[in-house]
Amino acid sequence: MKTDFPIAAATAQDAPEVAVMVGELLAEIMSAIGEQAFNFNLADTTSRLVAFLDQQKYFVFVARDDGGRPAGFLALYEGHALYAEGAFGTIAELYVRPDARGHALGLRLVSEAKALGVARGWTRLEVTTPPLPQFERTLAFYQREGFSISGGRKLKIAL
């Protein structure tokens, strides 16, 4: 397998392929935790992604293999908070397809996110990973990339 996966910023034309990978990511997470934690609809996710990209506050980087097929993606968005001392980025999704793992693709995608953050003047980059044994490798990956645990847990309530 080729290890020189080119990475580019996603456009609306990439939305269908990225949405498929979102579904793969969510299925992998739910399989790991044994719980139906997410709802996923391909058409809704695709149209939502197009709208998010149009707002220019949501950014996606897509890596492709030598055949042009998507191998992984990273999505992040801009937020603002007093505790963060201004604008910052949050990684919403990071996924590398199983057959593309082991080629430092996750590292390269995170590097793209960091570069975007620097270019946009963000004060920090954040990511949430569940404090569950199933995600220890994910946590270790982010820590190797310089992320530090800042406390707390991510909670949600449906509106």
Percent of the chain with pLDDT over 90: 73
Asked whether residue 22 is domain-assigned, the answer is yes
Secondary element (H or E) of residue 23: helix 15-33
| Over residues 85-114, mean pLDDT | 96
Asked whether residue 159 is domain-assigned, the answer is no
β-bridge mates for residue 96, sequence order: 72
* Model confidence at 3: pLDDT above 70: no
Neighbours of 139 (CB within 10 A): 16
CATH of the domain at 105: 3.40.630.30
Asked whether residue 53 is domain-assigned, the answer is yes
- pLDDT mean across residues, the chain: 92
Asked whether residue 2 is domain-assigned, the answer is no
* Model confidence at 2: pLDDT above 60: no
Q: How far apart are CA 4 and CA 1, in angstroms?
A: 9
Per residue in 110-151, pLDDT (tens digit) is 999 999 999 999 999 999 887 677 888 888 888 889 888 887
Asked whether residue 107 is domain-assigned, the answer is yes
CB 127 within 8 A of CB 90: yes
Asked whether residue 92 is domain-assigned, the answer is yes
Asked whether residue 154 is domain-assigned, the answer is no
Q: How far apart are CA 15 and CA 45, in angstroms?
A: 8
What is the domain count for the chain? 1
* pTM exceeds 0.85: yes
- Work out the end-to-end distance of the chain between its first and last CA atoms, rounded to an integer number of angstroms: 44
Question: What pLDDT does 75 receive?
Answer: 98
Question: What pLDDT does 121 receive?
Answer: 97
Asked whether residue 157 is domain-assigned, the answer is no
118 lies in which domain range? Answer: 7-144
